Amino acid sequence: MPHVDVARRVTEARGMSVREEQQAAPGYLPHRQILIVLSGVAAGMLLAALDQSIVGTALPRIVSELGGLDKLSWVVTAYLLTSTAATPLWGKISDLYGRRVIFQTAIGIFLLGSVLAGLSQDIGQLIAFRALQGLGGGGLMSLAFSIIGDVIPPRERGRYQGYFGAVWGTSSVAGPLLGGFFTDGPGWRWIFWINLPIGVISLVVTSVALKMPTVRRSHRIDYLGATLIVAAVSCFLLYLDWAGNKLGWTAPGALALLAAFVAFTALFVLVELRAPEPILPMRLFRNGIFSVGNGFNFLAGLAMFGGMIFLPVYLQAVQGMSPTVSGLALLPAVVGIFSTSITSGQLMSRTGRYKIFPILGAAVLLVALWLLSTIRVDTPYWQVAIYAYFFGAGLGFTMQTVVTAIQNAVERADMGVATSSATFFRMMGAAIGTAIMGAVLTSRLAHHLAAEFGGRMPPGKVNADNVQAIQHLPQPVKDHVLVAFTNAIDDVFLTSLPFVVAALVVALFLKEIPLASRGGEGQAQAGAA
């Protein structure tokens, strides 16, 4: 049959026989074993997901204590940068040494970064240790999705999407609450130290429950490709951060960073075309679903972190909420993610189709970001809650559906690298998007402050770096600062809109093939794709 010939040619191109390839691909597990494996995977996912939600609530207090509002985005960007760059490498290493031991290694690195982040004495140290955390966090997420792809047929993954939604929902609820509790109580450093008991539990659960076939393939790790991609992404993020705040967009130093990004990217592509075992195989881009899906992931990642990071800043700085209350105020977004994630997963399992969900998700996200860009100082919370719900609903429609489509469209032997690539493009978009939004907030805040005070700042009265101190400013200075802050955050949400529009257009070109079932239905179309 044609799809068998395609699979045979791909297999022989890797230097493996068809029999070896069949032995290398583990079989799908029955329902009871899947639940056991999922308990181990969920423990690691909870560790990474909790960190993403717990840090955002505490960021305003962190920069108030350590200073550096202009570096606020880098507390998140540093994590995203290392997790993004390391994601494809984790997939290759797990193919070589087995998923479980590498999954546990990622947990260990994440915990080490957490301890050091909690001991940080200045914003520079915190950024550095967040980068170490991200190195482990990238492995947690990509390996979790790879394990899921190994043991659950694509058609049945929607059936278990509720479990994934429960992890994200639990972390999204518990994260802001814990973040607010620790920030208002024993101190923000505990948002990192709380990872220790959770991490130990994760290690124990994965050791006991994560039992799955371990197949070691003979691979060579593409260290040169990994180095080049780290260099390329770092240069671009530094350009976005330094050019807007310090050097100027067209300054020689800024343009040098941009040129280095282009050069490293070109070298990376050349290396990947020649490498025996590329970290990101260029041949996968000939698969239309892989290409379009990852383009969507990248664009959605650019836009999604604006709401996740800067909405808590608005709630605390402008509406005067404490970190704990602002965490509770984000619950509508959690409900949105949870409800649409479960709904889309169930419909995917019943129908075997997925294309409508990224289209619908992008459309809802577009409306949500536009609504968020209209918030004012006196906007009542119930309106903000409705906007936050729609924001979460848009994310819920897209978070898992595109990954499932990509996994369904590639050969089983490419499951690890395809899954890690999907995570990589989403995280790369998030890292770049966070840097862009941080630069927008800093530059537009300065612009709006100057406009509010007629081009002159009252000396010694305004410290915009200290989000909490804004609430204690005297009148009428406080009113002017709140208006400027709100207008700057509105500009952040407006900046996200073009990326979502582009994601919506890209989603229209996503091809749809039936999701493969346990009996192999739909696999022929996937092989041909």
Rounded Cα distance between 512 and 518, Å, is 19
Residue 469 backbone class (left: φ over 0; alpha: ψ -120 to 50; beta: rest)? alpha
Query: Following DSSP, what letter does each residue of 227-283 receive, concatenated?
Result: HHHHHHHHHHHHHHHHIIIII-TTSHHHHHHHHHHHHHHHHHHHHHHH-SS-SS-GG
Question: For 407, what's the count of Cα atoms within 13 Å in the CB-facing half-sphere?
Answer: 29
Tens of each residue's pLDDT in the chain, 529 residues: 444 443 444 344 333 333 333 333 445 666 677 777 777 777 777 877 777 767 766 777 777 777 666 666 677 778 877 877 777 778 777 777 777 788 889 989 999 998 998 888 878 888 889 889 988 888 887 787 777 777 777 767 666 665 666 676 667 667 777 777 787 778 888 888 888 887 887 788 777 766 665 555 556 677 788 788 878 877 877 777 666 556 666 778 778 888 999 999 999 999 988 887 777 788 888 888 899 999 998 898 888 766 677 887 888 888 888 766 777 787 888 788 878 887 887 788 788 788 899 999 999 999 999 999 999 988 999 999 999 999 988 888 887 788 888 878 887 667 777 877 887 888 778 777 877 887 788 788 888 888 877 766 555 545 555 566 677 777 787 888 888 888 988 999 998 899 999 999 999 998 888 776 655 544 444 444 4
Handedness of CA 392, 396, 397, 403 (dihedral sign): positive
Of 437, 440, 473, residue with least CA distance to 457: 473
Query: Following DSSP, what letter does each residue of 407-433 receive, concatenated?
Result: HHHS-GGGHHHHHHHHHHHHHHHHHHH
* pLDDT number for residue 165: 62
* pLDDT number for residue 179: 77
Residue 15 backbone class (left: φ over 0; alpha: ψ -120 to 50; beta: rest)? left
Instruction: Please report, for the chain, the start and end positions of each structural domain, with discontinuous segments joined by +.
Output: 28-212+279-528, 222-278
**Architecture (CATH level 2) of domain 28-212+279-528:** Up-down Bundle (1.20)
* pLDDT number for residue 192: 87
Q: How far is CA 230 from CA 72, 94, 141, 193, in A?
A: 21, 20, 18, 28
* pLDDT number for residue 24: 37
Residue 339 backbone class (left: φ over 0; alpha: ψ -120 to 50; beta: rest)? alpha
Helix (H, G, I), strand (E, B) or coil at 59: helix
